[in-house]
DNA sequence: TTGTAAGCGTTATCAT
DNA sequence: ATGATAACGCTTACAA
């Protein structure tokens, strides 16, 4: 049986040098002879040495890991945001710890505590739906832990925030519905304490105003962002006699579509429909769903870059908000004339 | 400005005790007076103490983290497997590090090295498609790092393996197609060096045999597991004049469905179709896709439990394979009579 | 019940 | 260019 973990002292003994020299050689310090460096690196490789980063970080006072907290990784948006962060932080020499909150405030706090215990270099977070108290974030800032928020953010906490252009997402979707001939547009939104849904709704309102349509609060339904809540909301929506529905998320739109089909209300001829998020299924369902694409990977990139900047220049805390553009994707659910006419040219 | 990181010595000084007492109090050791424990815990809370797990693990010689390596987290199966692992290891006091290989062998090796450097307590892995050399896994075993493989595994490496019942998945899908009246069933599979696809194909072959249908190797097409490769494969498949197609994955089945639609070949009347994996989209597309459900969460649970068992009783390395049952889900793509007849009773 | 002291594996500051 | 040594924050014999 092999020795389980080789240390620099093992290598030092083997080669008749001291641990300090080995340390220097392995970290490519210039303060070591070229020849001995080669010799040491060769021995390290042969002996299967793997640096003990816990010891190194303990000594250096800072770890090489970054913590990322997301509601759940099985959502298209978040898994791509994670990949976007990895693409930046891994080459920069950090490794990423991921924590899922499953929309729970308690888990969010737990995740932050886990990260603190692990002395992560910084934290990237998108808030849980449940989260309405932000003292856990404030305490991070107070401790001097670099913090970047993305997507679901709280404006009162200092530090960079990277968000989708949710306002424009709502605006573009509703403007499109209006141009497509719909006049009474209902809106399904999420929990209105969250920036993402508030902003999308404001875009909806602004688009109505800009096209001379009166905003009717009775046509807005909140806490309806899942497939199930979309299904349930339909009967109430129909009471307001809409000719189209704009959902703040694709899952809600999916539920709405299913329920409308069940009620034999055809889309888009009897009811226009648009979602937001461009979930993978939205192009596969029938009719395909008009929606707004979010660039999750780009958001991950930017969040990671902002964090790395904070880590490298510790002078001051940046406090800006980056708004990442979104893109309207028109599909069958909102276009009354046959799609072939639109797609013929492609 | 607050002191950034409180240590047990800070607390000790504050209360006029020694660091050892504080350590004992915080770890709920019985070797400390009830009163002083309360006093210390209160102070720790008030001062915002967070244990430095790097220092603790360095001293204890083992870290409280578990590393998990998956091809990608934006796949339904893997993100649920991750959640399944978390559900077990978090309450057990471990935290999970996740590494995505994106199907790359180089990244897989890199991930393992990162985990070694972090002295993870154990590793849970599902192999990348590219991986055909397993020495990196063998060296983990040699080092005595507890290793659990799941889903995509290599039988030559010691240790627990948790897999889907892929053979039965293939068998059930094909048996169903035969019972539904299809006779010439083509098969789209993945890279045949991988256990998952080999087993599914063997299930396909066995089902044919058991129902007196000759197996024709010309009707099997490999390296076709993505949506794109599904689309591309269709023309070659059609040359073999099948009346049904069994795809080893839902994404390939989706591609096949799209291409068949484009060619005006109707499903299921002109061509039966079945996938495997029960991706979320498979019930949403039209026609809905007959497929085989995999219990990713359960697999994650079992992998985590196996690992924790290895961590707790270090006496010997278990070397068993757990096969997790799968379930056939019949939908429109494989049933020629109207689905209403089948579903009427529900 | 509490204190003392050593040591986990590194790196950084000295000194040589 | 290399060596000796201290220190990072914690846990755990061992002592008291």
DSSP string, A36-103: HHHHHHHHHHHHT----HHHHHHHHT--SEEEEEES-TTSHHHHHHHHHHHHHHTTTT-EEEEEE-TT
Q: Helix or strand or coil: residue B325? A: coil
Put simply, the answer to whether B54 touches A57 (Cβ < 8 Å) is: yes
Q: Which of residues 38-97 of B touch strand C (CB under 7 A)?
A: 55, 58-59, 61
Helix and strand totals (H; E) in chain B? 13, 12
Radius of gyration of chain A (CA): 26
CA–CA separation, B95 and B115 (whole Å): 13
What the block records as the tokens of A228 is 């199930």
* Mean pLDDT value of segment A48-67: 94
CA–CA separation, A32 and B206 (whole Å): 64
Residue bearing the bigger pLDDT, A318 or A233: A233
CA–CA separation, A184 and B318 (whole Å): 65
Q: Is the pLDDT of residue A3 over 70?
A: no
User: What's the pLDDT at B344?
Assistant: 47
Which strands form A272-274's sheet, in the order they lie side by side?
Answer: A220-221, A185-188, A244-247, A272-274
Asked if B150 contacts B299 with a C-beta cutoff of 8 angstroms, the reply is yes
Q: Which residues of B fall within a CB distance of 8 Å from A57?
A: 54
Q: Among B182, B165, B315, which residue's Cα sits nearest to residue B242?
A: B182
User: What's the pLDDT at A1?
Assistant: 45
User: What's the pLDDT at B4?
Assistant: 79
Q: Among A190, A174, A274, A276, which residue's Cα sits nearest to residue A226?
A: A190
CA–CA separation, B144 and B43 (whole Å): 40
* Mean pLDDT value of segment B307-320: 80
- Over residues B158-217, the pLDDT tens digits come to 999 999 999 999 999 999 999 999 999 999 999 999 999 999 999 999 999 999 999 999
Positions in chain D where some atom is under 7 Å from a protein CB? 1-5, 7-13
Q: Is the pLDDT of residue B334 over 70?
A: yes
- Over residues A278-302, the pLDDT tens digits come to 999 999 999 999 999 999 999 999 9
What the block records as the tokens of B45 is 């809370």
Q: Helix or strand or coil: residue B12? A: helix
CA–CA separation, B308 and B86 (whole Å): 12
User: What's the pLDDT at B337?
Assistant: 74
My answer on whether omega of the bond before A15 falls inside 30° of 0, hence cis, is no
Q: What is the pTM of this model?
A: 0.93
Calculate the average pLDDT of chain B: 94
Q: At B340, is the pLDDT very low, low, confident or very high (cuts 50, 70, 90)?
A: low
Longest dimension (CA), chain A: 86
Asked if A101 contacts A111 with a C-beta cutoff of 8 angstroms, the reply is yes
Q: Is the pLDDT of residue A314 over 70?
A: no
Whether nucleic acid strand D comes within 7 Å of the CB of B20, the answer is yes
* Mean pLDDT value of segment B306-320: 81
Asked if A145 contacts A179 with a C-beta cutoff of 8 angstroms, the reply is no
Residue with tokens 């805390």, as numbered in its chain: A317
Q: Among A254, A328, A319, A332, which residue's Cα sits nearest to residue A287?
A: A332
Element (DSSP H or E) covering residue B66 = strand B65-70
User: What's the pLDDT at A319?
Assistant: 86
Q: Is the pLDDT of residue A59 over 60?
A: yes
- Measuring CA to CA, how many Å separate B132 from each of A10, A163, A292, B143? 32, 41, 41, 21
- Over residues B235-279, the pLDDT tens digits come to 999 999 999 999 999 999 999 999 999 999 999 999 999 999 999
Q: At B345, is the pLDDT very low, low, confident or very high (cuts 50, 70, 90)?
A: very low
Enumerate residues 6+ apart whose C-beta is below 8 A from A266: A260
CA–CA separation, B35 and B31 (whole Å): 12
Element (DSSP H or E) covering residue A163 = strand A161-164
Put simply, the answer to whether A54 touches B74 (Cβ < 8 Å) is: no
Nearest nucleotide over every DNA/RNA strand to the B7 CA, judged by C1'? D9
- Measuring CA to CA, how many Å separate B338 from each of B268, B287, B292, B328? 10, 11, 21, 19
* Mean pLDDT value of segment A61-68: 93
Give A92: exposed, middle or buried? Use CB within 10 Å, 0-12, 13-18, 19+: middle
- Measuring CA to CA, how many Å separate B284 from each of A72, A227, B180, B231? 22, 12, 22, 19
CA–CA separation, A138 and B15 (whole Å): 27
Q: How far is the CA of A138 from the C1' of C5 (A)?
A: 39
CA–CA separation, A249 and B185 (whole Å): 39
CA B240 to chain centre: 34
Per DSSP, helices labelled H in B211-269 are 227-239, 250-262
Element (DSSP H or E) covering residue B41 = helix B34-47
* Mean pLDDT value of segment A13-20: 96
- Axis crossing angle, helix B8-15 with helix B34-47, rounded to the nearest 10: 120
Asked if B301 contacts B276 with a C-beta cutoff of 8 angstroms, the reply is no
What the block records as the tokens of B225 is 């597991």
As a whole-number percent, the residues of chain B with pLDDT over 70 amount to 95
Q: Is the pLDDT of residue B115 over 70?
A: yes
User: What's the pLDDT at B346?
Assistant: 41
Enumerate residues 6+ apart whose C-beta is below 8 A from A45: none
Calculate the average pLDDT of chain A: 94
CA–CA separation, B271 and B287 (whole Å): 12
Q: How far is the CA of B60 from the C1' of D11 (A)?
A: 7
CA–CA separation, B184 and B245 (whole Å): 8
- Measuring CA to CA, how many Å separate A312 from each of A44, A306, B71, B116? 30, 10, 31, 26
Q: Which residues of A fall within a CB distance of 8 Å from B57?
A: 54
Closest partner CB to B280 (pick from A54, A65, A281): A281
- Measuring CA to CA, how many Å separate A192 from each of A132, A175, A200, A201, A279? 11, 22, 10, 9, 21
Closest residue (CA) to C1' of nucleotide D12 is B20
User: What's the pLDDT at A315?
Assistant: 56
Longest dimension (CA), chain B: 86
Q: How far is the CA of A64 from the C1' of C7 (A)?
A: 24
Q: Among A209, A190, A147, A90, which residue's Cα sits nearest to residue B113?
A: A90
Per DSSP, helices labelled H in B144-244 are 166-179, 195-210, 227-239
What the block records as the tokens of A71 is 């509601």
Closest residue (CA) to C1' of nucleotide D7 is A59
Residue with tokens 């940046």, as numbered in its chain: A318
A220-221 and A185-188 beta bridge pairing: parallel
Q: At A236, is the pLDDT very low, low, confident or very high (cuts 50, 70, 90)?
A: very high
What the block records as the tokens of B254 is 């989706």
> Least CA distance to A79: which residue of chain B?
B74
CA–CA separation, B135 and B143 (whole Å): 12
As a whole-number percent, the residues of chain B with pLDDT over 90 amount to 91
The residue among A7, A26, A52 with the most chain B CBs within 10 A of its CB, best to mutate, is A52
Q: How far is A340 from chain B (nearest CA, A)?
A: 13
User: What's the pLDDT at A344?
Assistant: 47
Q: At B1, is the pLDDT very low, low, confident or very high (cuts 50, 70, 90)?
A: very low
């Amino acid at each position: 049986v092999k020795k389980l973990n080789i240390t620099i002292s093992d290598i030092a003994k083997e080669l008749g040098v001291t641990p300090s020299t080995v340390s220097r050689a392995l970290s490519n310090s210039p303060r070591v002879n070229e020849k001995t460096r080669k010799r040491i690196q060769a021995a390290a490789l042969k002996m299967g040495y793997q640096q003990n980063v816990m010891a190194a970080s303990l000594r250096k006072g800072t770890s090489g890991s970054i913590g990322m907290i997301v509601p759940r990784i099985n959502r298209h948006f978040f898994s791509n945001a994670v990949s976007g962060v990895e693409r930046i932080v891994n080459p920069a020499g950090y490794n990423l710890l991921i924590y899922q909150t499953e929309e729970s405030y308690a888990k969010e706090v737990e995740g932050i505590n886990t990260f603190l215990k692990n002395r992560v270099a910084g934290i990237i977070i998108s808030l849980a739906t449940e989260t309405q108290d932000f003292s856990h974030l404030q305490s991070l800032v107070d401790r001097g832990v670099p913090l970047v928020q993305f997507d679901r953010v709280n404006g009162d906490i200092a530090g960079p925030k990277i968000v989708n252009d949710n306002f424009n997402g709502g605006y573009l979707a509703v403007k499109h519905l209006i141009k497509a001939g719909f006049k009474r547009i209902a809106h399904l939104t999420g929990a209105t304490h969250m920036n993402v849904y508030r902003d999308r709704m404001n875009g909806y309102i602004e688009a109505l105003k800009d096209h001379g349509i009166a905003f009717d609060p009775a046509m807005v339904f909140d806490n309806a962002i899942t497939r199930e809540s979309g299904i349930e909301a339909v009967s109430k929506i129909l009471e307001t006699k809409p000719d189209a529905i704009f959902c703040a998320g694709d899952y809600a739109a999916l539920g709405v579509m299913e329920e409308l089909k069940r009620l034999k209300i055809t889309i888009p001829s009897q009811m226009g429909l648009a979602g937001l998020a461009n979930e993978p299924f939205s192009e596969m369902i029938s009719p395909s769903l008009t929606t707004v694409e979010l660039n999750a990977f780009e958001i991950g990139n930017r969040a990671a870059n902002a964090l790395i900047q904070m880590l490298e220049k510790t002078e001051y805390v940046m406090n800006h908000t980056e708004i990442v553009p979104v893109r309207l994707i028109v599909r069958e659910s909102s276009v009354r004339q046959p799609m072939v006419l639109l797609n013929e040219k492609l």
